[in-house]
Amino acid sequence: MQAHRLLAIALITGCASARSPVGPSAPSAPAVVPTGQVDSILASLSVRDRVAQLVVPWLAGSYTALDDSLFQVAARWVDTLHVGGLIMSVGSPFDIAAKLNALQRRSRLPLLISADLEWGAGMRVVGGTAFPQIMAVGATGNPRDAYTIGEAAATEGRAVGIHVNFAPDADVNNNPLNPIINIRSFGEDPRAVSRLVQEYIRGLHDHGMLATLKHFPGHGDTQSDSHIGLPVITAGYPRLDSLELVPFRGGISAGADVVMSAHIAFPAFTGSDDPATVSAAVLTGLLRDSLHFRGLVVTDALVMGAIVGKYGAGEATVRAFLAGSDLLLMPADPDSALNAMTVAVEGGRITRDRLDASVRRVLEIKRRLGLLAHRVVALDSIMTVVGSKRFQDGANDIAVRALTLVRDIGGPLHALRARPSRFALIAYADEHNAAAGQFMTELLRQGGDTVDYFRLWPMSGPLSYDSARAVIAQAPATVFVANVRPISWRGNIALPDSLAQLVTTTDQGRPTVLVSLGSPYLLNQVPAAKCYLIAWSGVRAAERAVALALLGKVPIAGHLPIRIPPDYHIGFGVTIPVAHP
């Protein structure tokens, strides 16, 4: 009875937060709720409700009315299943914050809200600051840039009600064919990646957000997408120890709060073809026992093909938990996950002590974040924080300093930078980047260039390519701008063969510049290209940086944080000073 009375006090305090919301940067100092309160809350929960604290469904960030069927699904997770948290998807700042406030107010216990904010809040919060992908920080080589992205992600994320950033990515991208990590990694040198991971964590922590290392024990050396199937890394422990694990050790020493598992098999290490997410050898033996990690372990999304296809929705959650996970992220069916876990506890397959240890970790995190006292955010503070000029200036600055010139044989880029020019700009991107190259074109025209713009898509056919050739034929020079980037469920990361051929033939006949707004490895498809500039990302800050570079208004001074086989090593980069200050 005493435990129930204490729980009621905690809940009343939590509900009171609706009237006195916390500001955008919640303190990481101890909350007013004492540590002992966690044990009291835990004791009051049934087995099913304890399990529910570990289940984290996916929530769309778009606007929905409270009586809309989509919102009612989420309301049922909170009201009936009593889930412990949610992972937030894309939406406007006000839609996300209002939706989370509504769900927080109706939840028995505060919800722990997470999101992927790898390159800033703009990755999920429309209007939030969009930094270049974090490999751009590897190109600048400046740890302060990693801190800046962490600071902005934390400040803007907390302003809309997000508490946990599923970042930084601690993978070492040492495989150019990796279709899903690529520019999401800081680079290929494990020690350099480790330093940047540590600073990113510090930026998050200093501004009230939890940090996650992913994808343990390393996703950088794969050639398939774990959203679709099960990648396999054949390396044994000695290689893992000297390469993949280096940034994870660094992140753990920097105080990382969460580690996310990888849906990847490591048979030489584990002795089986089970993915790391369901391997006790990886999550308990390696992560807990060898690396001494004491924080939360979260699965990668349990809806991904590498795991749900093999085990099913319910069994996948049980196996992941038995292996050492705490939070069960994005189960294919939250009801099935909750039922399977409850049956496993009641049947003795999962011990009560093991369950309680994970639930206690979750509740303690909520206490540390101050959520047992304050769980909603102030909507009227959002416009003073999210997308502010200070953070946007930081994104623009990093994007310029990250520009990396790999080659400029014959000087086509130098010629464009020397004087106002006329050229064709052929932009390529996937369907999620409908405006690729348009902001860049606008800035170039404002700077005095005459630009003939044409857009190609993954589905573009022969007629579209004929039209692109016609545009190219009318101009004395051509700039190809390609936003090729890792996309879940796509399975590859490359230029279409038709586009690679068009770049090659154009380069043979006229001055041509190839600009990558994404993967740095495009040169492997067009090895004869005479000029290759990497901007690392398709966000506006990166397009702005490229425009300024083509106009000669900024220097180019970035260096490769990865190899581009066979000719270009880590640290390579052609430096060009400002042509027109």
- pLDDT at site 198: 98
Cβ-Cβ contacts under 8 Å for 174 (sequence gap 6 or more): 188, 220, 221, 243, 562
Inter-axis angle of helices 540-550 and 389-402, to 10 degrees?
Answer: 50
Domain residue extents for the chain: 2-383, 403-550
Is 190:218 a contact under the CB 8 Å cutoff? no
CATH number for region 2-383: 3.20.20.300
**C-alpha–C-alpha distance, residues 364 and 335, integer Å:** 25
Active site residues: 227, 300
- pLDDT at site 146: 98
- Decide if 2-383 and 403-550 have a common fold: no
**C-alpha–C-alpha distance, residues 269 and 289, integer Å:** 15
CATH top-level class for 403-550? alpha beta
- pLDDT at site 24: 37
Helix or strand (DSSP H, E) at 248: helix 245-253
**C-alpha–C-alpha distance, residues 48 and 122, integer Å:** 36
Residue by residue, pLDDT tens for the chain (581 residues) are 444 333 333 443 344 333 333 333 333 343 345 667 999 999 999 999 999 999 999 999 999 999 999 999 999 999 999 999 999 999 999 999 999 999 999 999 999 999 999 999 999 999 999 999 999 999 999 999 999 999 999 999 999 999 999 999 999 999 998 888 999 999 999 999 999 999 999 999 999 999 999 999 999 988 665 555 678 888 899 999 999 999 999 999 999 999 999 989 999 999 998 999 999 999 999 999 999 999 999 999 898 766 777 888 889 999 999 999 999 999 989 999 999 999 999 999 999 999 999 999 999 999 999 999 999 999 999 999 999 999 999 999 999 999 999 999 999 999 999 999 999 999 999 998 999 999 999 999 999 999 999 999 999 999 999 999 999 999 999 999 999 998 765 667 899 999 999 999 999 999 999 999 999 999 999 999 999 999 999 999 999 999 999 999 999 999 999 999 999 999 999 999 987 77
